[in-house]
Amino acid sequence: MTAVDVSAVAKSYGKIEVLSDITTHFAEGSFTSLLGPSGSGKTTLLRIIAGFVIPDRGQVMLGSRDVTQVPVWARNIGMVFQSYALFPHMSIADNVAFGLARRGIKGAEARREIDRALELVRLPGFADRKPKQLSGGQQQRVALARAIVTRPSVLLLDEPLSALDRRLRQEMQVELVRIQRESGLTTIFVTHDQEEALTLSDKVAILDRGRIVQIGAPTEVYERPRTRFAAEFLGDTNFLDGTVTPDGVRIANGMTIASAAALPPVGDAVTLAVRPEKIEIETADAGRADDRANRIPATITTSVYAGTALTYEAEAAGQRFKVFAQNRDARPLAPGAAVTLSWSPAHSVLLQGGP
Ligand SMILES: Nc1ncnc2c1ncn2[C@@H]1O[C@H](COP(=O)(O)OP(=O)(O)O)[C@@H](O)[C@H]1O
Ligand SMILES: [Mg+2]
């Protein structure tokens, strides 16, 4: 069942179209990330779903209810912003109770709901404290409790972890997933951090200049990016521009790259994307025969050591490759080393739109 349904939504500010024809569905109980660079329209889309912004065109449905013109307070939505501003003079319980009071839920019933929400965010026993007695991470959990105490049908999170330091952020990521699983809340999470999106979500929607350019499971969008933008935004990629031949794709340096993708007709210009961790480096003396179709002689040009992994750059007749390698060997390869780069044709991903 679809919990949130956005169809043909568009929004302009002045002459600038911030969202163009957004159509997408958020399944009941799913965790979806809206991922895109700053200014791509993530917050605007979230605010349209919440009701803070009315779209110029299109429709927003919550379940079977058309809420396009329904005000925020009548939508039954929970929202957490980047700056989670608790009321400093009020107790944690009163902060959490904020949305309940407006719905006329008071007394013992309110107390029960507050306790339930604080338990869910693992802050039982904090009801009578004041925000300043809590750490940043704990305050963010209170903000989360405040958003879910009214049992909303959808939870909207706008970069809620971006103000936290790295360690706390990772801790809260784990917590968020747990809370989402336990509550079963349909969650839409805005982030510009690709790793965060891949780690947390059932689905990732990639936004580029007001459009959703791809939506899918984390493995799908990472392993099979559709465009150069999607490939680049989700991590490092080697782009190989070339022309389709009967055997694969002939790139500028004259080499032919095999791809398992269904290639367009011979002669068409295309771009293949190959992730740096998919490429294996074989040194001349450790070379072995296997069924990898792409075997390219190359020379290491740079080598960056980062403890668990190494980043290499290699050159093959003018074509540069970036390669990530596990730190398995006794010594990292030095610039000048002669190697063979190999990868499976399955990892030569065909991008749409050509070079
Ligand atoms: N209220 C507004 N008035 C004018 N321009 C706005 C307003 N809100 C957002 N914008 C513009 O819309 C674009 C998208 O903004 P936003 O949705 O906040 O992007 P993101 O959250 O992806 O960074 C930006 O160029 C921003 O400046
Ligand atoms: Mg934003």
Residue 291 has what pLDDT? 58
Residue 1 has what pLDDT? 67
Give per-residue pLDDT as tens, 159-212. 988 888 888 888 889 989 999 999 999 999 999 999 999 999 999 999 999 999
Ligand 1 site, residue 39, Cβ cutoff 6 A: yes
| Block mean pLDDT (10 aa), the chain, length 355 | 92 96 96 96 97 97 95 91 85 92 88 94 93 90 93 93 85 90 94 93 97 97 96 95 96 95 96 97 66 85 94 96 92 93 96 79
Residue 241 has what pLDDT? 96
Same domain? 272 vs 176: no
Same domain? 253 vs 170: no
Residue 137 has what pLDDT? 86
Ligand 1 site, residue 36, Cβ cutoff 6 A: yes
Same domain? 307 vs 190: no
Ligand 1 site, residue 191, Cβ cutoff 6 A: no
**Taking the CA atoms of the chain, what radius of gyration do you get in angstroms?**
25
This prediction has a pTM of 0.90
Q: How far is the CA of 19 from the centre of ligand 1 (A)?
A: 9
Instruction: List phi, psi (to 5°) of 309.
Output: -140, 165
Which of 216, 233, 250 is at the close of a domain? 233
Alpha-carbon gap, residue 284 to 297, rounded angstroms = 9
Ligand 1 pocket test target in 18, 33, 79 with most atoms within 8 Å of CB: 18
Q: How far is the CA of 158 from the centre of ligand 2 (A)?
A: 7
Alpha-carbon gap, residue 94 to 86, rounded angstroms = 10
Which of 214, 233, 252 is at the close of a domain? 233
DSSP at 192: S
Ligand 1 site, residue 38, Cβ cutoff 6 A: yes
Ligand 1 site, residue 42, Cβ cutoff 6 A: yes
Residue 329 has what pLDDT? 82
Is residue 80 within 8 A of residue 93, CB to CB? The reply is: no
Residue 292 has what pLDDT? 60
Nearest alpha-carbon partner for 99 in 147, 49, 31, 44? 147
Strands 238-245 and 248-251 come out as antiparallel
Query: Which residues contact residue 262 at a Cβ distance below 8 angstroms, ignoring those fewer than 6 apart?
Result: 350
Q: In this structure, what CATH number is given to the domain that contains residue 257?
A: 2.40.50.100
Residue 289 has what pLDDT? 55
Q: How far is the CA of 82 from the centre of ligand 1 (A)?
A: 15
Q: How far is the CA of 4 from the centre of ligand 2 (A)?
A: 20
Q: What's the total number of domains in the chain?
A: 2
Residue 290 has what pLDDT? 58
C-alpha neighbours within 13 Å on the C-beta side of residue 63: 8
User: What's the domain range around 46?
Assistant: 2-233
Same domain? 65 vs 192: yes
Residue 99 has what pLDDT? 83
